[in-house]
């Protein structure tokens, strides 16, 4: 209570208390307390006349002390995931697909296009925690990168894990040769080309480095790993008259396609399923070339970790593919009737950082659940080659395969 005005008789000096009603006179003031008792102060304090009773009033209840309302719980911040992709276009579809699947699980995923790298930098980035996962690994070819030593003395393989079975034997790879040239000179293996002087002379007049006396074949860009394997193959088989050309892959493809369509000699490394095989068509304008010897682990070209480049398997099937003589004429000379491509059919898999996998069992379960077919990926890559952006290709694939996708997501959520 606050009082003001004259205070000659103390009429403004209210005793400390709570009052529910106040009556002020000239030189005195009275107040009614919550317990129905009267207090007065100042001069000429009045008395309650005899026989006068104050009305019964309900005591005023003290206000209850209420607890503040708890603030609503804020949703957890989404986990940020740094995604990457390979610097070859056939890997873009899987990169976009995994990004969109992880986003459906609530992750915040960076654009894989912002971290486009080859295997030489990709595995280092994963091991050092700069990138969380990479869906474009080609094994066994890329196992050599697991042996790279980090600044702290550990190896890349100590920090990364290969996860799932995304596309088993999904990477059929080998060399293509212009069909008309091969038929004219009877060169159906790289060994045939290396030792046939007439074929070499004809090849040398129209290859990328004419007049050097060599058959210059289109190989792989630097740091793709396949370029190192090709160098080991050349040394292992003793192809003294064959050299690898290393340019941008799309540039080499354009040159190879032009030569094949004109009937000019060329040899070109590629893989499938990709859209490249829809234009360089085995049995039509090209053949798959064979090899007489399959590369072992001897690393004859002294490549870094080249012991991992072997294309042989324990059961002896490595380096051969079930392709008939109409597309691979050298298959007719094999007891098993298979094409001696010289390359193991690679498994295309996810590689991820160990700490990321441990902290994100949901993501790990997704990587383990995803299975793609050769037909699915082939169609996706063809759509992409026709100009559809990878994100759109992936979104359409998810829409058309919603039932399977929901099964993968359910497995992943159950693991979280």
Facing residues of 139 across strands?
347
Tokens 């390359």 locate to 343
Alpha helices by DSSP H, 161-225: 179-185, 190-195, 197-204
- Per-residue pLDDT at 210: 96
Total domains in the fold of the chain: 3
Say which CATH number the domain at 151 has. Answer: 3.40.190.10
47 domain residue, yes or no: no
Higher-scoring residue by pLDDT: 250, 74: 250
Domain closes at, from 288, 321, 347:
347
Domain closes at, from 329, 347, 365:
347
- Does residue 52 carry a pLDDT above 70? no
Is there a single domain that holds both residue 156 and residue 212? no
- Does residue 92 carry a pLDDT above 60? yes
With contact defined as beta carbons under 8 Å apart, do 293 and 236 qualify? yes
62 domain residue, yes or no: no
Peptide bond into 140 cis (omega under 30): yes
Q: Give the up-direction half-sphere exposure of residue 287: CA atoms within 13 A in the CB hemisphere.
A: 25
Is there a single domain that holds both residue 164 and residue 209? no
Is there a single domain that holds both residue 332 and residue 405? no
Is there a single domain that holds both residue 134 and residue 190? no
Q: How far apart are CA 61 and CA 75, in angstroms?
A: 40
Question: What's the mean pLDDT in 170-189?
Answer: 96
Is there a single domain that holds both residue 126 and residue 245? no
Of the listed ranges 28-37, 80-89, 100-109, 395-404, the least confidently predicted one is: 28-37
Is there a single domain that holds both residue 193 and residue 330? yes
Is there a single domain that holds both residue 203 and residue 272? yes
Q: Is 66 exposed, middle or buried (0-12, 13-18, 19+ CB in 10 A)?
A: exposed
7 domain residue, yes or no: yes
- Does residue 222 carry a pLDDT above 80? yes
Is there a single domain that holds both residue 131 and residue 226? no
Q: How many residues does the chain have?
A: 416
Q: How far apart are CA 310 and CA 292, in angstroms?
A: 15
With contact defined as beta carbons under 8 Å apart, do 289 and 267 qualify? yes
Say which CATH number the domain at 241 has. Answer: 3.40.190.100
72 domain residue, yes or no: no
- 257-280 pLDDT tens trace: 999 999 999 999 999 878 888 899
193 domain residue, yes or no: yes
- Per-residue pLDDT at 29: 73
75 domain residue, yes or no: no
Is there a single domain that holds both residue 196 and residue 329? yes
Mean pLDDT, all residues of the chain: 89
Residues spanned by the domain of 384:
80-169+348-415
């Amino acid at each position: 209570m606050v009082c003001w005005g004259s205070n000659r008789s103390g009429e403004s000096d209210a005793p400390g208390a709570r009052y529910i009603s106040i009556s002020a006179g000239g030189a005195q003031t009275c107040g009614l307390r919550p317990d129905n008792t009267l207090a007065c102060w100042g001069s000429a304090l009045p008395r309650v006349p005899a026989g006068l009773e104050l009305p019964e009033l309900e005591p005023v209840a003290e206000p209850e002390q209420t607890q503040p309302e708890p603030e609503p719980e804020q949703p957890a911040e989404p986990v940020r995931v740094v995604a990457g992709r390979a610097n070859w276009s056939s890997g873009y579809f899987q990169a976009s697909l995994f990004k969109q699947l992880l986003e459906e699980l609530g992750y915040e995923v960076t654009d894989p296009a912002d971290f486009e790298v080859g295997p030489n930098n990709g595995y280092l980035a994963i091991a050092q925690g700069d990138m969380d996962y990479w869906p474009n690994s080609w094994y066994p070819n890329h196992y050599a990168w697991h042996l790279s030593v980090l600044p702290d003395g550990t190896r890349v393989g100590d920090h990364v894990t290969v996860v799932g079975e995304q596309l088993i034997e999904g990477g059929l790879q080998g060399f293509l040769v212009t069909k008309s040239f091969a038929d004219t000179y009877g060169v159906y293996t790289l060994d045939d080309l290396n030792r046939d002087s007439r074929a070499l002379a004809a090849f040398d007049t129209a290859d990328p480095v004419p007049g050097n006396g060599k058959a210059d074949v289109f190989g792989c860009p630097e740091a793709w790993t396949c370029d190192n394997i090709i160098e080991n193959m050349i040394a292992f088989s003793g192809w003294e008259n064959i050299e690898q050309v290393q340019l941008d892959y799309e540039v080499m493809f354009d040159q190879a396609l032009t030569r094949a369509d004109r009937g000019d000699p060329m040899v070109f490394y590629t893989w499938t399923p990709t859209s490249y095989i829809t234009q360089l068509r085995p049995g039509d304008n090209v053949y798959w070339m064979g090899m007489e010897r399959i590369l072992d682990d001897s690393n004859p070209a002294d490549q870094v970790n080249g012991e991992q480049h072997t294309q042989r398997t324990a059961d002896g099937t490595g380096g051969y593919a079930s392709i008939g003589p109409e597309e691979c004429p050298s298959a007719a000379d094999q007891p098993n009737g298979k094409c001696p491509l010289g390359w193991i059919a690679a498994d295309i898999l996810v590689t991820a950082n160990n700490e990321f996998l441990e902290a994100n069992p949901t993501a790990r379960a997704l990587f383990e659940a995803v299975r793609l077919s050769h037909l699915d990926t082939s169609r996706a890559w063809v759509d992409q080659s026709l100009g559809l952006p990878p994100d759109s290709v992936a979104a359409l694939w998810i829409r058309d395969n919603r039932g399977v996708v929901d099964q993968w997501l359910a497995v992943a959520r159950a693991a979280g």
